[in-house]
């Protein structure tokens, strides 16, 4: 389907030239007349003849460029880029020759307008098929957008705005290599990057399991943006993905050394510590699940009239071993958890109205309660079970005032109310649980 990309002013210029021009080169007059009826092949023939007869003039290059752009616009989106690239090359050559000649006429003045007009059309056409969350767009929409953004770059290769969207579209299509290439182009060739570009490049590398390279990129960003706390968090997260918890903590500890009294730094530090706790707790749960499965197998084996005593002993020994491993991990979890708790309490002294600090403390206490609840589920000793129940309740009660304060400070954040709903439910506070559930919208 033919689409007219060109500004109306261009057509007006052409008509003025046809009526009023007394140009020396008849080839240019032919090109102008052909352009008014959209005969781009004739425009090209006339423009080529003009270049041959007067290669120093910008006119022939100008009309050759316009013809390529017009011909490209007549094609389907996936076929336009080559004509757009050639069109831009001819227009840039025309601009150079006009400047060498000292010419500043209408064609010269119109070059940036034509480029911006086509770029804008293609860029906006690329945005149109996408949803607000690009990754949720359909594959067909993403592919169409990729064609339009590629066309926009072909005519205007200096647009970091279009490059950013093209990288996101390629990422959504699963082409990590192309998303990375485009983002590196923005950072290192266009030199028009911001912190977002470094984050995205790191993400693409991590998605490709190249965490070490992502860390290098983040440290590069850290040099450029030394006051951005989130960079340190991203560095620490990347180290944790590699299983390097010590390096993760060193990265965050640097913040504390810079300003020990800063409550936000303490919050970041405590949050990072707690990510380690969550990983440990996940390993504890995995061990408990394994113990549960082995216990089930052991009971089935013991019910058999001809049960294998050696097999039962072996299973019992495995259970004991895994429970010991779980206890060691619980000790490690609590050690890190207490460190996070101490940092958060210090941060709260400096900033008692910080909802994030209160919410994070609530999480620390609630998850510690969850560990005791898991321990209670793994024991057959009723006295032990009662002890674990009491400890779990104690930590749930400790979490409650912090969650309530966070909800008071940020009443429109549903996450605070979800947390309160769960704690109220666990503590048997049914009326308050119902209120929290309503406010959480669940």
d(CA 311, CA 242): 38
- Is 2's pLDDT higher than 50? no
Instruction: Give, as one character, the DSSP assignment of residue 230.
Output: H
d(CA 309, CA 345): 53
d(CA 421, CA 90): 66
d(CA 228, CA 258): 13
Give the tens place of pLDDT for each residue, 262-285.
787 778 778 777 878 888 888 988
What residues contact residue 371 under an 8 Å CB cut-off, 6+ apart? 281, 284, 330, 333, 334
| pLDDT above 90 coverage of the chain, percent | 59
Which residue intervals of 105-262 are DSSP H helices? 106-127, 139-155, 160-172, 176-184, 195-207, 211-224, 229-241, 245-258
Mean per-residue pLDDT for 274-301? 87
Give the tens place of pLDDT for each residue, 236-245.
878 877 878 7
Among 196, 242, 234, smallest CA distance to 218 is for 234
pLDDT at residue 24, as a whole number: 60
d(CA 184, CA 200): 10
Domain boundaries, the chain: 1-126, 259-440
Give the tens place of pLDDT for each residue, 153-201.
999 999 999 999 999 999 999 999 999 999 999 999 998 889 999 999 9
Among 305, 292, 411, 409, smallest CA distance to 357 is for 409
Query: What is the chain's Cα-based Rg?
Result: 33
Tokens of 259: 């300003």
- Between vectors from CA 428 to CA 367 and to CA 345, what angle results, nearest 5°? 35
Which residue intervals of 74-105 are DSSP H helices? 81-101
400 band by pLDDT with thresholds 50, 70 and 90: very high
Of 30-39, 258-267, 363-372, 423-432, minimum mean pLDDT range:
258-267
d(CA 423, CA 412): 19
Tokens of 115: 């480029």
Q: In which residue are the tokens 């708790």 written?
A: 341
Give the tens place of pLDDT for each residue, 210-235.
999 999 999 999 999 988 878 887 88
* CB-CB contact of 293 with 382 (8 Å): no
- Is 415's pLDDT higher than 80? yes
pTM of the prediction? 0.67
Give the tens place of pLDDT for each residue, 325-374.
998 998 888 888 898 898 899 889 888 999 999 999 999 999 899 989 98
| pLDDT above 70 coverage of the chain, percent | 95
Record: fold of 1-126:
1.25.40
Residue 428 backbone class (left: φ over 0; alpha: ψ -120 to 50; beta: rest): left
Would you say the CATH fold of 259-440 matches that of 1-126? yes
- Is 13's pLDDT higher than 70? no
pLDDT at residue 54, as a whole number: 92
pLDDT at residue 361, as a whole number: 93
Question: What is the rounded average pLDDT for all residues in the chain?
Answer: 88
Q: Which superfamily does CATH assign the domain made up of 259-440 to?
A: Tetratricopeptide repeat domain (1.25.40.10)
């Amino acid at each position: 389907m033919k689409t007219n990309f060109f500004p109306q002013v261009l057509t007006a210029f052409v008509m003025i030239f046809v009526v009023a021009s007394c140009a020396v080169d008849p080839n240019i007059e032919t090109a102008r007349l052909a352009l008014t009826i959209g005969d781009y092949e004739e425009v090209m023939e006339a423009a080529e003849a003009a270049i041959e007869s007067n290669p120093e003039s910008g006119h022939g290059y100008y009309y050759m460029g316009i013809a390529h752009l017009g011909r490209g616009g007549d094609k389907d989106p996936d076929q336009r880029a080559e004509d757009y690239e050639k069109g831009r090359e001819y227009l840039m050559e025309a601009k150079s020759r006009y400047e060498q000649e000292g010419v500043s006429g209408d064609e010269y003045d119109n070059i940036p307008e034509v480029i911006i007009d086509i770029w804008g059309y293609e860029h906006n056409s690329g945005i149109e098929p996408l949803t607000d969350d690009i990754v949720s767009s359909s594959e067909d929409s993403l592919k169409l957008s990729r064609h339009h953004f590629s066309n926009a770059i072909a005519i205007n290769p200096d647009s970091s705005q279009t490059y950013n969207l093209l990288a996101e579209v390629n990422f959504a299509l699963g082409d990590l290599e192309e998303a990375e290439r485009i983002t590196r182009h923005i950072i290192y060739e266009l030199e028009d990057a911001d912190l977002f570009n470094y984050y995205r490049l790191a993400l693409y590398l991590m998605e490709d399991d190249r965490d070490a390279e992502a860390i290098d990129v983040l440290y590069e960003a850290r040099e450029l943006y030394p006051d951005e706390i989130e960079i340190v968090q991203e560095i620490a997260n990347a180290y944790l993905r590699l299983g390097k918890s010590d390096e993760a903590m060193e990265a965050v500890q640097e913040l504390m050394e810079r300003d020990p009294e800063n409550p936000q730094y303490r919050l970041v530090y405590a949050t990072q510590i707690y990510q380690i706790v969550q990983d440990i707790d996940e390993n504890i749960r995995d061990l408990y699940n394994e113990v549960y499965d082995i216990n089930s197998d052991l009971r089935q084996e013991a019910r058999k009239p001809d049960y294998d005593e050696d097999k039962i002993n072996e299973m019992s020994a495995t259970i004991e071993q895994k429970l010991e491993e779980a206890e060691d991990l619980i000790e490690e979890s609590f050690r890190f958890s207490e460190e996070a708790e101490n940092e958060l309490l210090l941060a709260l002294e400096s900033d008692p109205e910080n909802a994030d600090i209160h919410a994070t403390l609530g999480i620390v206490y609630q998850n510690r309660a969850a560990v005791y609840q898991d321990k209670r589920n793994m024991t057959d000793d009723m006295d032990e079970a009662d002890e674990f129940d009491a400890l779990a309740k104690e930590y749930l009660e400790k979490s409650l005032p912090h969650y309530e304060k966070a909800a008071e400070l940020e009443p429109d954040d549903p996450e605070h109310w979800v947390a309160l709903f769960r704690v109220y439910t666990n503590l048997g506070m049914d009326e308050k649980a119902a209120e929290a559930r309503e406010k959480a919208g669940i």
